[in-house]
Structure 1
Amino acid sequence: MKKFILFFVMNQKLNDYDSAWKDIIEVLFRDFLDFFYPEISKDIDWSKGYEFLNQELKKIFKDHKVNKKYIDELVKVFLNDGSEKWIYIHIEIQGYKEDSFNERLFIYNYRIFDKFHHEVITLAVLTDDDDDYRPDKYAVNRWGFELNMKIPIIKITDYANKIDELEKSNNPMAIVVLTVLDSFKAKDDAIKFNLKINLIRKLYKKGFDKDRINSVFKFIDWILNLSDQYELKVRDEIYKLEGESMPYVTSIERIAKNEGIVEGKKEGKKEGKKEGKKEAAINLFKEGISLDIISKCTGLPKNELEKLINKKRR
């Protein structure tokens, strides 16, 4: 049975974004291909499902000496013509120019071919903000020998003049792209806060299912990362949007951990004891955070928090 592998590369700033991108790919795989590579998506028989083959990737790269800054996914899919194909998705977490980028993609492309002896297709989505950086070719031409690799590249900055189209799209990847574009404008927490709130509102209005909301929310939350003060205000705004139902608690868990609340609950540390929680609650209230959110963070009942706040005001 003839097989091929699609090798996908995503170039992004290195930070804690890797898990967010990994989640986007694994949860929104079809949306991802529908949005960036619709012709490929049309060839896939989605009714037969697909399979992520992460263990196979470990076999490919276990001896490859590289500075590991990447998320790797190997996905097996079936085509409409009944044949089995493999798609290799390689997400690169870095946002700077790399002179050897296309050479490295050629090496990875060959390593996959050498392992599986199937046709390999390499794609790339670049999320850096340099419009001129488009490493889409690798070639060797000498003494009659020719080797040419052309990579179909998607450049996120190309969507900057398609904002209206992104706003109208019902594909969750459109909000992912808007998030990356907004991250280029976010110079301080005040700007990032407004951008983040607007993106979350757009996400809610689309009416996506829970998995899509959680995945895109996580992406927004990590790409537009804020200080604890602003993150709690974001949680406050989300609470107003959805009441008791919080879509994703990434930032709240991080802030609670910083306050010592999470560790205290799990391990009985001093910071997590009731007095420590009360002190944390007072600090959060001073930052303008609602009692509902403080209650979620600390685990203290709302009526107890009201008494605590009133006592401090006397």
Structure 2
Amino acid sequence: MFTYFYRIRDRYKRDVTSLAIFTDQDEKYHPDKYEYHCCGASVTYSFNTYKVKTQRVDVLEQSDNPFAVVILTILTALKQNEEGHDHLVESFLGLIRRLLNRQLPKHKIVRLVAFIKRYVHLGNSPLFNKFEEEIKLLTENPAYMGILEQVLQIDTEEAEKRGAISGRLIGIEEGKAQIVANLLVNSDFDIQTIASLTGESIDFIIEIKNKLP
């Protein structure tokens, strides 16, 4: 958190505040400061925190703030190991029903429904297909026309982004491997030197060397 703070402040020359949102299961884990001490010098950076696990469901359900839906979604997902998948799906569908009944702009509803869908980890199972069908039925109301299509469009765009990022990462790894391979074949450098020159680990260099013909 301290790193984000000083880099953002240094780059944009603006006042910065920080908020750490904890989405873990451990209610006792709640750090709110960073401390550094070295040879008489010290830094203490305190930041704002929000612990999802400790929030009250009844208060969130009554809130008109769209962010309350986000927190309820995370709280529901945290119960994934405590409750059966059938109950979990019903909980997510209940969130979507309440969301559709709120007087929110359609573009906000679309984004929140897409967010809820991302938290349903059921794989390609009949239960997930049922979840998708239920969303379709819920959004067939004329007042909600076009919501499902926009959510699906968001799903498609994000899948394409993930694919592009994955492809770039693979390309980066292939590029690193090619540089290491060229140094192994075309130079007299030993493994330690190549690791130092490329910034890669010795294990990575050895792995590439073992793959060479």
If the length of structure 1 is used for normalisation, what is the TM-score? 0.42
Partner Cα distance (2:15, 2:92) in 1: 41
SS, match of residue 179 in structure 1: helix
Structure with the bigger RCO (C-alpha within 8 Å, sep 6+) is: 1
1:235 maps to 2:132: yes
Q: Which runs of 5+ in 1 are unaligned?
A: 1-104, 257-314
Q: Which has the larger radius of gyration?
A: 2
Residues 32 and 48, structure 2, Cα contact 8 Å, conserved in 1: yes
Deviation at 1:167, TM superposition (A): 1.0
Of 153, 162, 172 in structure 1, the residue corresponding to residue 49 of structure 2 is 153
Provide Cα deviations, 1:118-151, integer angstroms capped at 9, x if missing partner.
3332221111221122221112346653321001
Of 173, 176, 184 in structure 1, the residue corresponding to residue 67 of structure 2 is 173
Alignment CA distance shift 1:137-1:179 (3 Å): same
SS, match of residue 138 in structure 1: strand
Partner Cα distance (1:255, 1:178) in 2: 21
Greater fraction of residues in helix? 2
Residues 196 and 220, structure 1, Cα contact 8 Å, conserved in 2: yes
Letter in 1 for 2:15: E
1:220 maps to 2:119: no
Alignment CA distance shift 1:112-1:189 (3 Å): same
Deviation at 1:181, TM superposition (A): 0.4
Residues 113 and 151, structure 2, Cα contact 8 Å, conserved in 1: no
Alignment CA distance shift 1:236-1:125 (3 Å): same
Per the alignment, residue 161 of structure 2 pairs with: none
Provide Cα deviations, 1:191-233, integer angstroms capped at 9, x if missing partner.
3221221111111121322111101101110012333322332
Partner Cα distance (2:110, 2:152) in 1: 14
1:193 maps to 2:89: yes
SS, match of residue 18 in structure 2: strand
If the length of structure 2 is used for normalisation, what is the TM-score? 0.60
Per the alignment, residue 57 of structure 2 pairs with: 163
Alignment CA distance shift 1:253-1:216 (3 Å): closer
Letter in 2 for 1:155: K
Identical aligned residues as a percent: 29
Partner Cα distance (2:138, 2:17) in 1: 43
Q: Which runs of 5+ in 2 are unaligned?
A: 157-213
